[in-house]
Structure 1
Amino acid sequence: MQTTDPKPPVTDEIDPAFERLTPDAPGPALVLCDHATNHVPDWIPGGTLGLSDADMGRHIAHDVGAAGVARRLALELDAPAVLSRFSRLVIDPNRGADDPTLVMKLYDGSIIPANRHADEAEVARRRALAYDPYHDAITRTIDAMLARGTVPHIISIHSFTPQLRGKPPRPWHVGVLWDRDGRLAEPLIARLRAEPDLVVGDNEPYTGALRGDCMNVHGTRRGLPHVLIEIRNDLIAEPADQAAWAMRLAPILRDLIAASGVTAGAAVPT
């Protein structure tokens, strides 16, 4: 399979909290990447969370390989994309605003020193500087797509570690996470399970039924078709593998979006 990257998409908007790629792209998908980077903004005191470089390179700080898959997938689908520009350890945009794990103090055996004493005021500051602008960018993109008569089919790209500390190895190559709306998730699971080289998780290794998470806010609550795809991060550690997975997923998702029958003005679940 050819994985040579074509000309990259034009970045329409770069903000300290997010980047939007080709927001005027005509495709009916919207690609998201909540945990695209391990970057710690300079407004965090000292510009560091107090973790080692090794810890900051792990899955606890970002979804390894997910950004590369998301960028290439958006290109393949001719779709807009919104990616975060801050580490999930600064504040996690895939958590509800009132979730106690919004700012993690301990994750997979690592204490996050800069978060140990983060009080309500500090969490609110991080929300205003990172979390809220990221979600506002997604909302603006969805609103613009709807305004031009395109129903966004939201595809969120994540990755997971093959094994948590002290836990058994995870057997899945890819997981499909979803809650009440299975319009994309259920046929995607079926399509992926038809491929003999894949072990596919249905709401594994995590559940998609999290109130207030990114898909709940922008997909479920707005009645938009959506799915969260988790790829095991050792399978997408290198750019060529990221491109290959994007190119593997793109034709399947293109088919499912076309088959969904969801158009502007159509009744959708809420």
Structure 2
Amino acid sequence: MTDHPPFHIDGTERPGRWLVTCDHATNRVPPEIGPDLGIAAADMARHIAYDVGALGVSRKLGRLLDSPMIHTDYSRLVIDPNRGEDDPTLVMKLYDGTLIPRNRHADAAEVERRLALFHRPYHDAYEALCAGRDDVVICAMHSFTPQLKSRPRRPWQIGILSAYDKRFTTPFIKALESSESLLAEAKKIGERLVIGDNEPYDGHLPGDAIDRHALHHGRLNLLIEIRSDLIETPEQQAHWAALLAPILQATLKETGL
């Protein structure tokens, strides 16, 4: 068992019905894996290792929603907590042009070891938080890179991902599109407001965290992706959490869900 917990929970005692989650919170490589993954520090600072800025937004959002927040504390390159146990991308060997040397020869036994040390403890705690109340709403927080290598720049400031359960995401996207605060935010950075509906990628992978903890239980949910250049600093992270929290609360109230 690792000496450093693979996840942390903020605000277990908070009474709100939200559960804010951050699957790709840090780029830490636990000592059980090695001092590093064999890639450059510059690569470990990129989106391939974690969701830049997402943890700061998640922490602030949990406080503003007066609800618990859970996050991982290991790099997605160690093992991806937002993938099912049988997903071939669970332990990535190549990501956005970067080879991951420490993962190249990870066999079934090594993947099982990482599952036991990092992946399963996080999901056990995640599920325990969900099961604590019947009306929980899962709000999964992620960020996306402005541009993948050899790909066009992404135009969205924010994307809302969902699968077949769109009870909350459809009215939430409409609320974002009409939000004066978001329109002003886009104008401030010299862009028009562009909100992605299952962009910059599709919102459903069988066995992923939302599939496992929300869809299989009929729990209300959404997954928010913010473009990472907009949430690089603590000030930006707090700002975006403050933009989103009232819209989340108002949508929940207005829909009566």
Do Structure 1 and Structure 2 share a fold, with TM-score over 0.5?
A: yes
CA-based RMSD of the aligned residues comes to: 1.2
Report the 3-state secondary structure (helix = DSSP H, G, I; strand = E; otherwise coil) of the residue aligned with 1:145.
coil
- Secondary structure at 1:141's aligned position in 2? helix
Contact 2:175 2:251 in 1 (8 A): no
- Give the counterpart of 1:132 among 90, 95, 120: 120
Mean Cα deviation higher: 186-195 or 80-89: 186-195
Question: Which of 148, 162, 166 is 1:178 aligned to?
Answer: 162
Provide the TM-score with structure 1 as the length reference.
Answer: 0.88
**Does 1:163 find its partner at 2:152?**
no
**Unaligned residue ranges in structure 2 (runs of 5+):** 187-192
Cα distance in 1 between the residues matched to 2:140 and 2:26: 15
CA distance in 1, matches of 2:53, 2:123: 21
Q: Distance in 1 between matches of 2:4 and 2:254?
A: 35
Please give the alpha-carbon distance, in whole angstroms, between the structure 2 residues aligned to 1:145 and 1:225.
12
* Conservation of the 8 A alpha-carbon contact between 1:31 and 1:155: yes
Cα deviation code 1:48-98 (max 9, x no counterpart): 101111000000000000000000000000000110011000000111110
Output one character per residue of 1:173-213: Cα deviation in whole Å (capped at 9) or x when no partner: 00000001112211111111224332100000011121111
Residues 61-210 of structure 1 aligned to structure 2 (within 5 Å): 61-146=49-134, 151-195=135-179, 196=183, 197=186, 198-210=193-205
SS at match of 1:136: helix
The 5 Å alignment of 1:223-262 reads 223-262=218-257
Equivalent-residue separation in structure 2 for 1:164 and 1:211 (angstroms): 24
1:25 aligned partner, one-letter code:
R
By how many angstroms is 1:143 displaced?
Answer: 1.4
> Percent of counterpart pairs with the same letter?
53
The 8 Å contact of residues 153 and 257 in structure 1, kept in 2 or not, is answered as no
Corresponding residue number in structure 1 for 2:31: 42
Find 1:21's aligned residue among 1, 10, 26: 10
Q: Any gaps of 5 or more consecutive residues in structure 1?
A: 1-13, 263-270
Q: Distance in 2 between matches of 1:226 and 1:259?
A: 16
